[in-house]
Structure 1
Amino acid sequence: MATILLVEDNPANMKLAAFVLAQGGHDVLCATSADEALVLVRERQPALVLMDVQLPGMDGLTATRQLKDDPSTRAIPVIALTAFAMRGDAERIRAAGCDGYIAKPIRYQQLLGEVARALENNNENNPVGRS
Protein backbone atom coordinates (compact mmCIF):
# COMPACT_ATOMS: atom_id res chain seq x y z
CA MET A 1 0.00 0.00 0.00
CA ALA A 2 2.19 2.89 1.24
CA THR A 3 5.42 3.62 3.05
CA ILE A 4 4.69 5.25 6.40
CA LEU A 5 7.17 6.76 8.83
CA LEU A 6 6.19 6.12 12.44
CA VAL A 7 7.89 8.48 14.91
CA GLU A 8 7.43 7.26 18.48
CA ASP A 9 9.77 7.10 21.47
CA ASN A 10 7.70 4.67 23.54
CA PRO A 11 8.68 1.09 22.59
CA ALA A 12 5.24 -0.39 23.39
CA ASN A 13 3.42 2.26 21.34
CA MET A 14 5.93 1.80 18.50
CA LYS A 15 5.46 -1.96 18.46
CA LEU A 16 1.66 -1.75 18.49
CA ALA A 17 1.35 0.93 15.81
CA ALA A 18 3.97 -0.70 13.56
CA PHE A 19 2.17 -4.03 13.86
CA VAL A 20 -1.23 -2.52 13.02
CA LEU A 21 0.21 -0.63 10.03
CA ALA A 22 2.03 -3.71 8.73
CA GLN A 23 -1.14 -5.78 9.10
CA GLY A 24 -2.88 -3.07 7.07
CA GLY A 25 -0.43 -3.75 4.24
CA HIS A 26 1.87 -0.77 4.75
CA ASP A 27 5.66 -0.64 4.77
CA VAL A 28 6.72 0.93 8.06
CA LEU A 29 9.82 3.00 8.74
CA CYS A 30 10.50 3.73 12.41
CA ALA A 31 12.20 6.63 14.18
CA THR A 32 12.49 7.29 17.90
CA SER A 33 13.43 10.98 17.71
CA ALA A 34 12.53 14.05 15.67
CA ASP A 35 16.08 14.37 14.37
CA GLU A 36 16.05 10.78 13.11
CA ALA A 37 12.62 11.37 11.57
CA LEU A 38 13.75 14.46 9.66
CA VAL A 39 16.62 12.51 8.11
CA LEU A 40 14.38 9.58 7.15
CA VAL A 41 11.68 11.79 5.64
CA ARG A 42 14.19 13.60 3.46
CA GLU A 43 15.96 10.39 2.40
CA ARG A 44 12.96 8.09 1.92
CA GLN A 45 10.06 10.46 1.11
CA PRO A 46 7.34 8.34 2.80
CA ALA A 47 3.71 8.74 1.79
CA LEU A 48 2.75 9.69 5.36
CA VAL A 49 4.32 10.55 8.72
CA LEU A 50 2.76 9.58 12.04
CA MET A 51 4.46 11.95 14.48
CA ASP A 52 4.46 11.62 18.26
CA VAL A 53 4.03 15.10 19.74
CA GLN A 54 6.20 14.56 22.84
CA LEU A 55 9.65 13.35 21.85
CA PRO A 56 13.00 13.65 23.60
CA GLY A 57 14.94 16.68 22.39
CA MET A 58 13.03 18.34 19.57
CA ASP A 59 9.27 17.82 19.93
CA GLY A 60 7.08 16.47 17.13
CA LEU A 61 5.36 19.78 16.39
CA THR A 62 8.70 21.54 15.85
CA ALA A 63 9.76 18.72 13.52
CA THR A 64 6.45 19.02 11.65
CA ARG A 65 6.97 22.76 11.16
CA GLN A 66 10.41 22.02 9.68
CA LEU A 67 8.92 19.45 7.30
CA LYS A 68 6.18 21.84 6.21
CA ASP A 69 8.71 24.66 5.68
CA ASP A 70 10.84 22.47 3.37
CA PRO A 71 9.61 22.40 -0.26
CA SER A 72 10.89 18.83 -0.68
CA THR A 73 8.75 17.50 2.20
CA ARG A 74 5.90 20.02 2.44
CA ALA A 75 3.34 17.83 0.62
CA ILE A 76 3.86 14.78 2.85
CA PRO A 77 0.91 14.56 5.23
CA VAL A 78 1.70 14.44 8.95
CA ILE A 79 -0.68 13.03 11.53
CA ALA A 80 0.15 13.81 15.14
CA LEU A 81 0.02 11.06 17.75
CA THR A 82 -0.74 12.59 21.10
CA ALA A 83 -1.73 11.80 24.63
CA PHE A 84 -2.97 15.40 24.77
CA ALA A 85 -6.58 15.50 23.70
CA MET A 86 -7.71 18.56 25.60
CA ARG A 87 -9.51 21.67 24.39
CA GLY A 88 -7.24 23.75 22.20
CA ASP A 89 -4.84 20.92 21.38
CA ALA A 90 -6.38 20.21 17.97
CA GLU A 91 -5.90 23.87 16.98
CA ARG A 92 -2.31 23.89 18.25
CA ILE A 93 -1.55 20.68 16.36
CA ARG A 94 -3.07 21.95 13.11
CA ALA A 95 -1.29 25.31 13.50
CA ALA A 96 2.02 23.40 13.52
CA GLY A 97 1.13 21.96 10.10
CA CYS A 98 -0.28 18.57 11.04
CA ASP A 99 -2.99 17.25 8.75
CA GLY A 100 -4.76 15.50 11.61
CA TYR A 101 -4.21 13.86 14.95
CA ILE A 102 -4.88 10.61 16.74
CA ALA A 103 -5.26 10.56 20.51
CA LYS A 104 -3.47 7.89 22.51
CA PRO A 105 -4.03 5.19 23.50
CA ILE A 106 -4.09 4.13 19.86
CA ARG A 107 -7.13 2.22 18.67
CA TYR A 108 -6.33 0.14 15.60
CA GLN A 109 -9.53 0.93 13.64
CA GLN A 110 -9.07 4.66 14.19
CA LEU A 111 -5.38 4.45 13.23
CA LEU A 112 -6.08 2.61 9.97
CA GLY A 113 -9.03 4.89 9.19
CA GLU A 114 -6.99 8.07 9.69
CA VAL A 115 -4.11 6.66 7.65
CA ALA A 116 -6.45 5.73 4.78
CA ARG A 117 -8.09 9.18 4.87
CA ALA A 118 -4.75 11.00 4.85
CA LEU A 119 -3.37 8.88 2.00
CA GLU A 120 -6.56 9.34 -0.04
CA ASN A 121 -6.55 13.11 0.51
CA ASN A 122 -2.88 13.31 -0.44
CA ASN A 123 -3.45 11.29 -3.62
CA GLU A 124 -6.34 13.59 -4.59
CA ASN A 125 -4.13 16.66 -4.07
CA ASN A 126 -1.06 15.09 -5.71
CA PRO A 127 -2.26 12.89 -8.61
CA VAL A 128 1.20 11.41 -9.20
CA GLY A 129 1.11 10.24 -5.57
CA ARG A 130 3.78 8.63 -3.43
CA SER A 131 4.42 5.05 -2.52
Structure 2
Amino acid sequence: MSDTLLIIEDNEQNFYMMRFLLEKNGFHIIGAENGRKGIDMAIEHLPTAILLDIQLPEMDGYAVARELKRNKALSRTPIIAVTSYAMAGDREQILAAGATGYIEKPIDPDTFVDQIIRYLPRRRDNQEA
Protein backbone atom coordinates (compact mmCIF):
# COMPACT_ATOMS: atom_id res chain seq x y z
CA MET A 1 0.00 0.00 0.00
CA SER A 2 1.42 3.37 -0.99
CA ASP A 3 1.39 6.48 1.15
CA THR A 4 -1.25 9.05 0.26
CA LEU A 5 -0.05 12.62 0.14
CA LEU A 6 -2.36 15.62 -0.06
CA ILE A 7 -1.00 18.57 -2.03
CA ILE A 8 -2.74 21.88 -1.30
CA GLU A 9 -1.54 24.11 -4.14
CA ASP A 10 -3.37 26.63 -6.33
CA ASN A 11 -0.76 26.81 -9.11
CA GLU A 12 -1.43 24.05 -11.66
CA GLN A 13 2.18 23.86 -12.87
CA ASN A 14 3.55 23.50 -9.35
CA PHE A 15 0.92 20.88 -8.53
CA TYR A 16 1.69 18.93 -11.69
CA MET A 17 5.45 18.91 -11.04
CA MET A 18 5.06 17.74 -7.43
CA ARG A 19 2.48 15.12 -8.39
CA PHE A 20 4.64 13.80 -11.24
CA LEU A 21 7.75 13.45 -9.07
CA LEU A 22 5.92 11.85 -6.16
CA GLU A 23 3.77 9.44 -8.21
CA LYS A 24 6.91 8.34 -10.08
CA ASN A 25 8.25 7.33 -6.66
CA GLY A 26 5.22 5.31 -5.62
CA PHE A 27 3.09 7.85 -3.75
CA HIS A 28 -0.66 8.19 -4.21
CA ILE A 29 -1.49 11.89 -4.69
CA ILE A 30 -4.68 13.81 -4.01
CA GLY A 31 -4.95 17.54 -4.46
CA ALA A 32 -6.83 20.66 -3.50
CA GLU A 33 -6.57 24.10 -5.05
CA ASN A 34 -7.49 26.11 -1.96
CA GLY A 35 -7.19 25.91 1.80
CA ARG A 36 -10.83 25.16 2.63
CA LYS A 37 -11.00 22.27 0.15
CA GLY A 38 -7.62 21.04 1.42
CA ILE A 39 -8.89 20.86 5.00
CA ASP A 40 -12.00 18.99 3.86
CA MET A 41 -9.92 16.51 1.84
CA ALA A 42 -7.51 15.99 4.74
CA ILE A 43 -10.40 15.14 7.05
CA GLU A 44 -11.96 12.82 4.48
CA HIS A 45 -8.79 10.97 3.38
CA LEU A 46 -6.45 11.22 6.41
CA PRO A 47 -3.30 11.39 4.26
CA THR A 48 0.14 10.27 5.38
CA ALA A 49 1.40 13.85 4.93
CA ILE A 50 0.22 17.21 3.61
CA LEU A 51 2.21 19.46 1.27
CA LEU A 52 0.97 22.99 1.81
CA ASP A 53 1.50 26.19 -0.14
CA ILE A 54 1.33 29.31 2.03
CA GLN A 55 -0.16 31.73 -0.49
CA LEU A 56 -3.60 30.27 -1.24
CA PRO A 57 -6.99 31.69 -2.19
CA GLU A 58 -9.70 31.87 0.50
CA MET A 59 -7.45 30.83 3.41
CA ASP A 60 -3.69 31.21 3.62
CA GLY A 61 -1.42 28.33 4.55
CA TYR A 62 -0.92 29.62 8.09
CA ALA A 63 -4.66 29.37 8.82
CA VAL A 64 -4.84 25.97 7.12
CA ALA A 65 -1.94 24.59 9.18
CA ARG A 66 -3.47 25.85 12.43
CA GLU A 67 -6.85 24.31 11.62
CA LEU A 68 -5.33 20.98 10.58
CA LYS A 69 -3.33 20.77 13.82
CA ARG A 70 -6.49 21.43 15.88
CA ASN A 71 -8.16 18.37 14.33
CA LYS A 72 -7.45 15.39 16.58
CA ALA A 73 -7.34 12.91 13.67
CA LEU A 74 -4.77 15.06 11.83
CA SER A 75 -2.77 16.54 14.70
CA ARG A 76 0.19 14.20 14.13
CA THR A 77 0.10 14.31 10.32
CA PRO A 78 3.25 15.95 8.94
CA ILE A 79 2.59 19.25 7.17
CA ILE A 80 5.35 20.29 4.80
CA ALA A 81 5.18 23.89 3.61
CA VAL A 82 6.25 24.02 -0.04
CA THR A 83 6.32 27.68 -0.84
CA SER A 84 7.94 30.55 -2.65
CA TYR A 85 7.63 32.64 0.50
CA ALA A 86 11.27 33.03 1.41
CA MET A 87 11.38 36.27 3.34
CA ALA A 88 13.03 36.48 6.74
CA GLY A 89 10.72 34.97 9.32
CA ASP A 90 8.41 33.13 6.90
CA ARG A 91 9.89 29.72 7.74
CA GLU A 92 9.54 30.33 11.47
CA GLN A 93 6.00 31.67 11.06
CA ILE A 94 4.71 28.60 9.18
CA LEU A 95 6.48 26.24 11.59
CA ALA A 96 4.86 28.09 14.50
CA ALA A 97 1.47 27.66 12.79
CA GLY A 98 1.95 23.89 12.82
CA ALA A 99 4.05 22.90 9.82
CA THR A 100 6.58 20.12 10.35
CA GLY A 101 8.92 21.20 7.58
CA TYR A 102 9.63 23.83 4.94
CA ILE A 103 10.77 23.49 1.32
CA GLU A 104 11.38 26.55 -0.85
CA LYS A 105 10.12 26.86 -4.42
CA PRO A 106 11.17 26.43 -7.05
CA ILE A 107 11.57 22.82 -6.02
CA ASP A 108 14.63 20.88 -7.11
CA PRO A 109 13.42 17.77 -8.99
CA ASP A 110 16.62 15.93 -8.05
CA THR A 111 16.12 16.31 -4.28
CA PHE A 112 12.38 16.97 -3.80
CA VAL A 113 11.27 13.38 -3.13
CA ASP A 114 14.08 12.81 -0.63
CA GLN A 115 13.13 16.04 1.12
CA ILE A 116 9.56 14.76 1.49
CA ILE A 117 10.60 11.26 2.60
CA ARG A 118 12.56 12.63 5.54
CA TYR A 119 9.24 13.75 7.07
CA LEU A 120 7.69 10.28 6.66
CA PRO A 121 9.19 8.03 9.37
CA ARG A 122 8.15 4.69 7.84
CA ARG A 123 9.51 5.60 4.39
CA ARG A 124 12.65 7.19 5.86
CA ASP A 125 13.36 4.09 7.96
CA ASN A 126 12.92 1.82 4.92
CA GLN A 127 15.22 4.02 2.84
CA GLU A 128 17.96 3.94 5.49
CA ALA A 129 17.80 0.15 5.91
TM-score after normalising by structure 1? 0.88
Structure 1 letter corresponding to 2:41: L
Counterpart in the other structure of 1:68: 69
Q: Which moved more, 1:106-115 or 1:28-37?
A: 106-115
Deviations 1:21-72 (A, max 9, x none): 1011100001101111111100100000000100011011101100101111
Measured after TM superposition, the shift of residue 121 of structure 1 is 7.2
Q: Is the 8 A contact 2:117 2:124 kept in 1?
A: no
Identity %: 35
Deviation at 1:89, TM superposition (A): 1.4
The corresponding residue for 2:22 is 21
Change (3 A) 1:43 1:123: farther
Note closer, same or farther for the CA distance 1:121–1:65 as it changes in structure 2 (3 Å cut).
farther
Structure 2: any 5+ residue segments left out of the alignment? Answer: none
1:86 counterpart residue number: 87
Q: Tell me, which stretches of 5 or more residues in structure 1 are unaligned? A: 125-131
- Look up the match of 1:128: none
Runs of 4+ in 1 over 6 A off after TM superposition: 121-124
What is the alpha-carbon root mean square deviation over aligned residues? 1.7
Match for residue 116 of structure 1? Answer: 117
Judged with a 3 Å threshold, the aligned counterparts in structure 2 of structure 1 residues 58 and 83 are, in CA distance, closer, same or farther, namely: same
Shift of the alpha carbon at 1:110? 3.0
CA distance in 2, matches of 1:14, 1:76: 20
Quick check: 14-23 or 83-92, which moved more? 83-92
Secondary structure of 1:118's counterpart equals coil
Q: Which amino acid aligns with 1:80?
A: A
Alignment partner, residue 34 of structure 1: 35
Report SS of the residue matched to 2:36.
helix
CA shift digits 1:50-100 (9 cap, x unpaired): 001000110111011001011111011100011112221111111011000
